[in-house]
A = this chain, B = another copy of it.
Amino acid sequence: MRALLQIIASALLVIVVITLSTPAGAADPLPSWNDGAAKQSILRFVAKVTREGSHDFVPSAERIAVFDNDGTLWAEQPMYFQLIFAVDRVKELASQHPEWKTQEPFASLLRGDVKSALAGGEKAIAEIMMSTHAGITTEEFERIVKNWIATARHRKNGRLYTEMVYQPMIELLAYLRASGFKTYVVSGGGIEFMRPWSERVYGIPPEQVVGSSIKTKFELRDGRPVLVRLPEINFVDDGPGKPVGIQTHIGRRPIAAFGNSDGDLQMLQWTAAGTGPHFCLYVHHTDPVREWAYDRASGIGRLDKGLDEARMRGWVVVDMRTDWKRIFPFERD
Which residues in A have some Cβ–Cβ distance to B below 8 Å?
A: 1, 4-5, 8-9, 12-13, 16-17, 20, 61, 138, 182, 191-192, 195, 205-207, 209, 213, 216-218, 220, 224-225, 227, 240-241, 243-244, 247-252, 266, 269-270, 273
Contact = CB atoms under 8 A, between A and B. Distances in A.
B5 A191 contact: no
B9 A5 contact: no
A187 to B, nearest CB: 14
B244 A218 contact: yes
Interface of A is mostly: helix
Nearest to A14: B9
A218 B206 contact: no
A211 to B, nearest CB: 10
Contacts of A9: 9, 12-13, 16
Given A218-B270, A273-B224, A191 B248 contact: yes
Given A213-B248, A225-B273, A61 B205 contact: yes
Nearest to A15: B12
A95 to B, nearest CB: 30
Given A5-B13, A207-B249, 4 more contacts: A1-B20, A5-B16, A5-B20, A206-B250
Contacts of A216: 244, 247-248
